[in-house]
Amino acid sequence: MIEAHGLTKRYGDKTAVDDITFTIAPGSGTGFLGPNGAGKSTTMRMIMGLDRPTSGTVTVNGKPYAQHRAPLSEVGALLDAKAVHTGRSARSHLRTMAATHNVPASRVDEVIEMTGLATVAGKRVGGFSLGMGQRLGIASAMLGDPRTLILDEPVNGLDPEGVQWVRRLVRSLADEGRTVFLSSHLMSEMAQTADQLLVIGRGRIIAAGRVQEVIDSVSGAAVRVRTPRAAELAELVRGDDVVVTSPEPGTLEVRGIDAARVGDIACGSGIALHELSPRSASLEEAYMSLTQDAVEYRSTTTSPAAPKGANR
């Protein structure tokens, strides 16, 4: 259970997280979705007590993270694949973390095995690929066998097999009744990994709920109409909650009412329709529509995809 109330973080005059309030119930995989720079990592660092909120509070299982008696058994976090000293071996890194909590050495071997790091555990982390770094981060998050897991972009840099592995891991952890909160800037990834979504853009929550609900709630669902009397029909259907656009002459896109209603209105006025087709938003369209006003680093070229790449 993660609860945030009015959580805000400003760095100088830059507002990274802007007064967000949310609750993440236990026993589920919740995706934290948003374009780069939206404030995901900052929110997660505040949950972990690493960054101090400018205002607002956030608790994990009822208490601020720092007040838990056994923090690593309460919350395991992969905040940054690079949150490891490059000069140390993977095993030494895990041993230092384990020592603080008196976690037995056998558990270190267990998480090494679990994350498939056995063959490289003795090697220095400096030489690790991004994917190996992610696995080490997940191993270290699992050390204390925590009830809650916070994973910041866990599939970043993983090969397809690694991505599959993370998906299965998240599923099985959530099925065991743990709270898994994982972030991504890729909608398609979240749809396959999470049950619920929390969508953030420019530091604000812009949508939340079950994955399908979030997609459905987006105005991306439209009705496409082709008719010789387009202008007339547009006047008839236009209303307070109905938006009509005309992508090309003789064609309308109607948002706010369904296809049946458009057909009825047209019939009532004797307007012939040459096409009447409902278009449901695809995952990516839903995402784009949700975040289009919230993309921080919109590329100046015309690429419609959310910018990818390095993530703090």
Partner 1 sequence: MTTTVAVATAVPAHEARPAVLARPTFLGILRGEWIKLLSLRSTWWTLAATVLLMTGVSLAVAASLDTVAADPATGPGLAALTGAEVVSGGFQLGMLTIAVLGALLMTGEFSTGMIRSTLAAVPTRTPVLAAKAIAVAAVTAAVVALGTAVSYTVTMPLLAPHGMVPALDELRTWQVFGGTLYFLVAAALFSLGVGTLLRSSAGAITVALTVLLLLPSFLVFVTLDWVETAVEYLPLPASGAFLGGGEDSLSAVGDGLTPATGLLVVAAYAVVPLVAGAAALRRRDA
User: Which residues are near partner 1 by CB under 8 A?
Assistant: 20-28, 30, 45, 48-52, 65-66, 68-73, 77, 79-80, 82-89, 92-93, 95-104, 107, 140, 143-145, 147, 175-178, 195-198, 205, 208-210
Smallest gap, in angstroms, from Cβ of residue 228 to ligand ADP? Answer: 48
Among ligand ADP, Mg ion, partner 1, none, what does residue 37 contact (CB within 5–8 Å per kind)? ligand ADP
Element (H or E) spanning 56, and its range? strand 55-60
- With respect to partner 1, which residue has the nearer C-beta, 18 or 253? 18
- With respect to ligand ADP, which residue has the nearer C-beta, 218 or 295? 295
37 binds ligand ADP (CB under 6 A): yes
Smallest gap, in angstroms, from Cβ of residue 153 to Mg ion? Answer: 6
Chain centroid to Cα 71, Å, comes to 24
39 binds ligand ADP (CB under 6 A): yes
Would you tell me how many other CB atoms lie within 10 Å of the CB of residue 159? Answer: 11
Footprint on residues 170-209 left by ligand ADP (CB under 6 A): none
Smallest gap, in angstroms, from Cβ of residue 99 to partner 1? Answer: 4
- With respect to partner 1, which residue has the nearer C-beta, 89 or 289? 89
Q: How many helices (H) and strands (E) does the chain have?
A: 11, 13
Smallest gap, in angstroms, from Cβ of residue 199 to partner 1? Answer: 10
Crossing angle for the helix pair 130-142 and 90-100, nearest 10 degrees?
Answer: 20
Smallest gap, in angstroms, from Cβ of residue 293 to Mg ion? Answer: 19
311 binds Mg ion (CB under 5 A): yes
Q: Which stretch binds ligand ADP (CB under 6 A): 11-19, 157-165, 257-265, 299-307?
A: 11-19
Torsion of CA 207, 212, 215, 216, to 10 degrees: -100
Determine the residue type at 286.
Answer: A
251 binds Mg ion (CB under 5 A): no
CB neighbour burial string for 78-100, b if at least 16 within 10 angstroms, e if fewer: bbbbeebeeeeebbbbbeebbee
DSSP string for residues in 188-253: HHHHHH-SEEEEEETTEEEEEEEHHHHHHHSTT-EEEEE-TTHHHHHHHH--SS-EEEEEETTEEE
Crossing angle for the helix pair 105-114 and 130-142, nearest 10 degrees?
Answer: 140
68 binds ligand ADP (CB under 6 A): no
Q: Do the beta carbons of residue 290 and residue 207 sit within 8 Å?
A: yes
Measured in residues, the chain has a length of: 312
- With respect to partner 1, which residue has the nearer C-beta, 23 or 277? 23
Determine the residue type at 161.
Answer: E
Smallest gap, in angstroms, from Cβ of residue 10 to ligand ADP? Answer: 9
Q: How far apart are CA 113 and CA 99, in angstroms?
A: 19
Q: Which stretch binds ligand ADP (CB under 6 A): 8-16, 140-148, 287-295, 298-306?
A: 8-16
Footprint on residues 22-41 left by Mg ion (CB under 5 A): 40-41
Contact residues toward Mg ion (CB under 5 A) are 40-41, 311-312
The footprint of ligand ADP (CB under 6 A) covers 11, 14, 16, 34, 36-42, 296, 311-312
